[in-house]
Amino acid sequence: MSQSITKARDGFTSTFGVLAATLGSAVGLGNIWKFPYLTGENGGAGFLLVYVIATLLVGLPVMISEIMLGREARTDAVSGLIKLAPKGQPWWLIAAMGVSAAFLIMSFYSEVAAWVFAYIFKAASGEILSTDPAVTGAAFNSLITDPLQSLLWQWLVLTLMGGILLMGVSRGIEAVTKRLMPLLFILLLVIGVRSLTLPGASEGLHFLFSPDFSKVTAGVVLTAMGLAFFKLSIGMGCMMTYGSYFRDDQHIPLTTVRVMCADLFVSMLAGIAIFPAVFAFGFEPSAGPSLLFITIPAVFASIPLGHLFMVLFFVLSAIAATGAMLSILEVPVSVLSERFHMSRTRATLINLLVLGAVGSTCALSSSTLADVQVGGKTFFDLFDFVSSNVLMPLGGIFLCLFVGWVWGFERMTTALTNGGKLSLPILRPLFFIIRYVSPLLILVVMLKGMGLF
């Protein structure tokens, strides 16, 4: 009986498909414009160390918990927590918070992705091929301050993602990420080698990796932890949703460790592809969007064959953004289609419409709505901050509390060993970390990072 229900539900069909989709979610714009810059800016190897510790003590346990709960429930995140929790306890609110986080993230993320997609064409046409950051800066400014262009590119990206999601989990998400992820690795390696072989490249490696622990403050630790949540797509039901598509025989802890390592590897490669080239030509490394859209084009314009590499770089970024956006959108799409019994088509369309509206606040954050600010932040920055530094860590705390205190060791053991088929010596320490260490650590880092104690 349960076999036939499992079969009827769409899901990932192969081990490689699971890896590609899950890694496709983790790898994204976060690797390309958050990780390298934050690392360079916040103390290089010192930040990296804090990030790796946060990933091991918080990221990994939360990710394993989420995927496990998803696969146990085999339904959308909200229904999943209703199904797994004792009757009447409102643990499903974690998933509801996750759905709101998905909307916030998708709102600003789809706009950065919109710029990336637009830049493939701008790079190809030679429009941004200038070694002068003032010229590339003006080109970027004219894109983001034009409300119509910003909106149209965002809606185009949303429509493209909707089109893939409409094809379903295995024939849409899995099929697309299986093809795109290997391509992403190849492109990244090619650009990394190009960047590293430039004269003067070592200064970029120095910026990225030389440790400066004096920069590692409480705020920086919060940033590193927020990055770990954002990078691994955890604390908001995304991995729970993907977990519900995992095969019964999938080794969850091993898959999670593989995804984490590959994601870290991609982040490092992205840093290696970007900073040596930036320094080789004497550019100043800049933050977030301007690094990607102003400095990078100027850097590529300085390199022999730079025109080609610039196009490849934005294709690579678009690929990275695609896998991530599919997974963010899948959270509310699966909730509407499974919890509210809508057809996948209807669920996708409704979500796209809502996102088109909510997301437009971010698309217009540099133009029409530039002056509308909350706490000194535009909608774009606010959604970014609240999702990574508040909602996702909060989701992580409650997921750990649920597994550690409500679900319990026995059920976790059965779930992670695939019903006793795998032997996992790490279960006791893992449970201890999920029950005590991760939630406490997240709480302390959140409160301290926000200056609340």
**Whether the Cβ atoms of residue 248 and residue 414 lie closer than 8 Å to each other:** no
48 forms part of the interface with ligand PFF (CB under 6 A) = no
Per CB under 6 A, the list member of 110, 255, 327, 378 interacting with ligand PFF is 327
Q: How far is the CB of 272 from ligand PFF (least distance, A)?
A: 17
Total binding residues toward ligand PFF, as defined by CB under 6 A: 15
Q: Please, which residue, 306 or 395, has the CB nearer to ligand PFF? A: 395
Q: How would you label 208-221 residue by residue, b for 16+ Cβ within 10 Å and e otherwise?
A: bbeeeeeebeeebb
Q: Which two tokens stand for residue 320?
A: 């990275």
**Whether the Cβ atoms of residue 226 and residue 236 lie closer than 8 Å to each other:** no
d(CA 49, CA 428): 25
Q: How far is the CB of 377 from ligand PFF (least distance, A)?
A: 19
Q: How far is the CB of 87 from ligand PFF (least distance, A)?
A: 29
328 forms part of the interface with ligand PFF (CB under 6 A) = yes
Q: Please, which residue, 109 or 281, has the CB nearer to ligand PFF? A: 109
316 forms part of the interface with ligand PFF (CB under 6 A) = no
Tell me the residue length of the chain.
453
115 forms part of the interface with ligand PFF (CB under 6 A) = no
Question: Helices 147-166 and 306-334 meet at what angle, rounded to 10?
Answer: 60
Part in contact with ligand PFF (CB under 6 A); list of ranges 76-84, 231-239, 334-342, 365-373: 231-239
Q: Please, which residue, 112 or 446, has the CB nearer to ligand PFF? A: 112
Per CB under 6 A, the list member of 60, 94, 105, 123 interacting with ligand PFF is 105
Q: Is 391 helix (H, G, I), strand (E, B) or coil?
A: helix
324 forms part of the interface with ligand PFF (CB under 6 A) = yes
Task: Give the largest Cα separation in the chain, rounded.
Answer: 65
271 forms part of the interface with ligand PFF (CB under 6 A) = no
- Full DSSP string of 17-67: HHHHHHHHHHSSHIIIIIHHHHHHHTTTHHHHHHHHHHIIIIIHHHHHHHH
Per CB under 6 A, the list member of 28, 133, 404, 449 interacting with ligand PFF is 28
Q: How far is the CB of 388 from ligand PFF (least distance, A)?
A: 8
Using only C-alpha atoms, the chain has a radius of gyration, in whole angstroms, of 21
Per CB under 6 A, the list member of 79, 233, 360, 366 interacting with ligand PFF is 233
Q: What is the DSSP letter of 215?
A: G
Q: Please, which residue, 25 or 79, has the CB nearer to ligand PFF? A: 25
Residue 219 to residues 62, 162, 427, Cα–Cα distance (Å)? 21, 37, 32
236 forms part of the interface with ligand PFF (CB under 6 A) = yes
Residues whose CB is less than 8 angstroms from the CB of residue 212 and which lie 6 or more positions away in sequence, other chains included:
43, 44, 46
Q: Give the binding site for ligand PFF (CB under 6 A).
A: 25-26, 28-31, 105, 230-231, 233, 236, 238, 324, 327-328
